A = this chain, B = another copy of it.
Amino acid sequence: MSANDHGPQGADHVEIVEVGPRDGLQNESTVLSVDDRIRLIDRAVAAGVRRIEAVSFVNPKRVPQMAGAEEIMAGVRREPGVSHIGLVLNRRGLERAVAAGVSEVNVAVPATDGFCTRNQGCTVDEMLDALADIDTDLQGTGIPLSVTVSTAFGCPFDGEVPAGQVVEVVNRITGTSAVEIALADTIGVGVPREVSELLRAVGAVADGRTLRCHFHNTRNTGYANAMAAVDAGVRVLDSSLGGFGGCPFAPAATGNIATEDLLYMLHRSGLHTGVSLSGAAELGAWMGERLDKQPPAYLGRAGAFPA
């Protein structure tokens, strides 16, 4: 199975990559149990999600929210056509991911040294070397690789990120077996016109790789950015149930764009996702209960339209 198997099913189909179990939870002060996370993943799949960022193989001592990746992968219901993605940042993480039986590996490579150093403890160049190592170790496993370029629209430490810098990172990624490259607005600073421009620049060098986008709604531009990506032809979008998530380097900020709110916008635009809006809204509310927090998502409060 390659990431492309999950790709466009036609121009009016948008594939949702549910990142709630990983990006949504990794910075929450409340740590969800392994059982709760298994339930979240299985329920998201039952609601129609076909790709889900289920676990992270980072050091559980550094990110206790993500502990228990092996137990989660052993506990979730597996079914054909559903991809459980594991985030991996080094060879040790990949070893664990392969042993745990992930369907797909995602590696995050920041576009900026400022973020990479503080978040991953190495320079971008060193991270690209780590990616090459991971890619080598992946050979023969049959597990597809996707790579997310973090801080592609701006960095909390380095500031503005020129498109050329992102293009350079993407160029290096095309030297690997990655079937998909995601552009991530990690701190939620981008605006729709930047999305269109960066996609154009990156599209020119992506060498046939599927492009995916990952937006945060930190400054209320996340949904406009998602729509700009769709208008530019992107058909794979990350989103997080309830709109949870965020960045430790932007503590006051809200999280990822919410799956339920994204579905509302896409479905009402005549686009299909295969994911149930009511199912997603219920799960977003459930996450709010478990985390004892009002979800940033609005659908649960406002209700769908027509009701």
Give A residues with C-beta under 8 Å from B. Answer: 154, 159-160, 187-189, 191-194, 217-221, 223-224, 226-228, 250, 252-254, 257-258, 261, 264-265, 268-270, 297-299, 301-302, 305-306
Q: How far is the CA of A269 from the CA of B195 in the complex (A)?
A: 10
Q: How far is the CA of A219 from the CA of B270 in the complex (A)?
A: 17
Given the known A-B contacts A269-B192, A302-B253, A306-B159, are A221 and B223 also in contact in the complex, defined by CB atoms under 8 Å?
yes
Docked-complex contact B265 and A224, CB < 8 angstroms: yes
Q: How far is the CA of A301 from the CA of B254 in the complex (A)?
A: 9
Q: How many copies does the complex hold?
A: 2
A187 to chain B: which residues have CB within 8 Å? 305
7 tightest A-B contacts by CB? Answer: A224-B224, A189-B305, A220-B261, A193-B269, A191-B268, A252-B301, A159-B306
Q: Which of B188, B191, B193, B258 contacts A220 (CB 8 A)?
A: B258
Q: How far is the CA of A188 from the CA of B301 in the complex (A)?
A: 12
A219 to chain B: which residues have CB within 8 Å? 261, 264-265, 298-299, 302, 305
7 A-B residue pairs with Cβ-Cβ distance under 8 Å, sorted by A, are A159-B306, A192-B265, A219-B264, A219-B305, A220-B299, A221-B223, A221-B265
A154 to chain B: which residues have CB within 8 Å? 305-306
In the complex, what's the smallest C-beta–C-beta distance from A117 to chain B, in angstroms?
A: 19
A193 to chain B: which residues have CB within 8 Å? 268-270
Q: How far is the CA of A305 from the CA of B269 in the complex (A)?
A: 30
Q: How far is the CA of A228 from the CA of B265 in the complex (A)?
A: 13
Given the known A-B contacts A221-B264, A306-B160, are A191 and B253 also in contact in the complex, defined by CB atoms under 8 Å?
no
In the complex, what's the smallest C-beta–C-beta distance from A306 to chain B, in angstroms?
A: 5
Q: How far is the CA of A108 from the CA of B253 in the complex (A)?
A: 36
Identify 19 new A-B residue pairs, CB closer than 8 A, beyond the known A217-B298, A220-B261.
A154-B305, A154-B306, A187-B305, A189-B305, A191-B265, A191-B269, A192-B265, A217-B220, A219-B261, A219-B265, A220-B297, A221-B264, A224-B224, A224-B226, A224-B265, A253-B298, A253-B301, A253-B302, A254-B301
A226 to chain B: which residues have CB within 8 Å? 224
A268 to chain B: which residues have CB within 8 Å? 189, 191, 193-194
Q: How far is the CA of A258 from the CA of B220 in the complex (A)?
A: 9
In the complex, what's the smallest C-beta–C-beta distance from A264 to chain B, in angstroms?
A: 5
A270 to chain B: which residues have CB within 8 Å? 193
Docked-complex contact B265 and A298, CB < 8 angstroms: no
Q: How far is the CA of A40 from the CA of B254 in the complex (A)?
A: 27
In the complex, what's the smallest C-beta–C-beta distance from A240 to chain B, in angstroms?
A: 13
Docked-complex contact A220 and B223, CB < 8 angstroms: yes
A305 to chain B: which residues have CB within 8 Å? 154, 187, 189, 219
A297 to chain B: which residues have CB within 8 Å? 220
Q: Which residue of chain B is the closest to A306 with respect to CB atoms?
A: B159
